[in-house]
A and B are shown apart, each in its own frame.
Chain A
Amino acid sequence: MTGRHTVEHNRHTVEGTDPGLFVEVHEPAADAGLRPVLLIHGFSSSSKLNWADSGWITTLQDAGRRVITVDLPGHGRSHSPEDLDSYTPSRIRADLLQIVTDVGARPLRDGDSSTGLDLIGYSLGSRLAWEFGATQPDLVHRIVLGGPSSADPLAAFDLVAAQRHLADGTPIEDPSTAGLLKMAQMLPSNNLFAMLSLIEAIKGEPFDPAEAAPQVPLLLVAGEKDERAATMPELASIAGKRGGMVETLVIPGRTHTNVITSRAFKEAAVQFIGV
């Protein structure tokens, strides 16, 4: 296995605790000399499922890009901390900032295309990328958001109904809650306690895209049949009002789940961040 190494769990801790996030840096065979790309996966997924198996990492490596992947807390090969704080979106963003700094991302400098960081997020990862881009304008160069939504289905999750369902099998009335819980239970590698902790933490910090919007160029991509991303035009409008360049791309025939492997999505993303 070449062109890839695993970084130790972040060497510097944020707020004195280590959430044990699993980080990998994937080096290209021929480096294009451009800034690194951070990939942020979706809820109940992992870097492996969201980015490796779907072909994103090799596509970006083939384009000469250095790729950073991080498994979210409780996902993939990351730890499942017991404290709720490790799962809050603000804490996750702080950990991501520390991680990308530790692996060499540097603040943007005019005329130096190796500085800064490009972001690609998917679903929950798009929400995190939106906020990360809004709060780190000195670092973030361009952002690609897959399956993005201005709503927050995780904040609307009915935690009480889910816990009752897990305890005694009482059916869950809200279809979105039932669907998300099914997703959370599907992967043996994902810890259900951690999934519910993440949801609880997100309820404390629900997504409010208008509160802080990125002002860097944005590419929003969703499948034509992606119901969760039906609000993508609202996000585009919010970012557009801040004066940032916004492009949107709808992939025909694809859903929230299966847009991720789309060649059109990958090619558009590689081109968009390849400047």
Chain B
Amino acid sequence: MAEISFPLPDLGEGLIEATVLDWLVEPGQQVERNQPLVELETSKSALELPSPQAGKVVRIHGAPGDTINVGEPLIVFEVPDDTAGIVGTVPKDEAPKRRVRLSAVLDED
């Protein structure tokens, strides 16, 4: 098994941070791609962030009320080695449905 970490993605509209309202998943839970992960509030609105991929949640970052900056760690998944691929790639099982989505940027570090 491999771990893959996703940071808070660029939410558009020039937003640089978001506040955690409520997590909708917890460590140990198996989630599907596009399943809502967390409710976030920005200076403009509140939104749900869909999961960028299927996998088991290993860690979540930020308790309700905590502010997370774009690019900071948000969630870590455990995925089978053969689907983890090169660290930093996004699995290509289907076209994303939402404009707001997570993407890994570890390869840019």
The residues of A with any CB-CB pair to B shorter than 8 Å are 1, 45, 49-50, 52-55, 186-188, 254, 257-263
Contact = CB atoms under 8 A, between A and B. Distances in A.
A257 B24 contact: no
B44 A186 contact: yes
17 contacts: A1-B95, A45-B45, A52-B98, A53-B98, A54-B46, A54-B47, A55-B48, A186-B43, A186-B44, A257-B41, A257-B45, A257-B46, A258-B39, A258-B46, A260-B46, A261-B22, A261-B48
Interface string B9-52: 00001000000011010000000000010011101111110000
Contact of B47 (A53, A186, A187, A263): A53
A45 B44 CA distance: 9
A20 to B, nearest CB: 22
B21 A261 contact: yes
Contacts of A45: 45
A261 B13 contact: no
Nearest to A53: B47
Given A1-B95, A55-B36, A188 B45 contact: no
Contacts of A257: 41, 45-46
Contacts of B41: 257-258, 261
B70 interface: no
Q: Which of A186, A188, A258, A259 has the most CB of B within 10 A?
A: A258
Interface of B: 13, 21-22, 24, 36, 39-41, 43-48, 95, 97-98, 100
A259 B45 CA distance: 10
A49 B45 CA distance: 7
Given A49-B47, A186-B44, 11 more contacts: A49-B44, A50-B45, A54-B45, A54-B47, A257-B41, A261-B41, A261-B47, A262-B22, A262-B39, A263-B22, A263-B24
A261 B98 contact: no
B34 to A, nearest CB: 8
Contacts of A53: 45, 47-48, 98, 100
A202 B41 CA distance: 28
Given A55-B36, A187-B13, A261 B46 contact: yes
Nearest to A182: B43
A47 B106 CA distance: 33
Contacts of A188: 13
Nearest to B96: A1
Contacts of A261: 21-22, 39-41, 46-48
Nearest to A186: B44
Contacts of B22: 261-263
Contacts of A55: 36, 47-48
B50 to A, nearest CB: 8
Contacts of B36: 55
A154 to B, nearest CB: 18
B61 to A, nearest CB: 19
Nearest to A49: B45
A45 B47 CA distance: 13
A263 B21 CA distance: 11
Nearest to B34: A58
B13 to A, nearest CB: 7
Contacts of A258: 21, 39, 41, 46
A262 B36 CA distance: 12
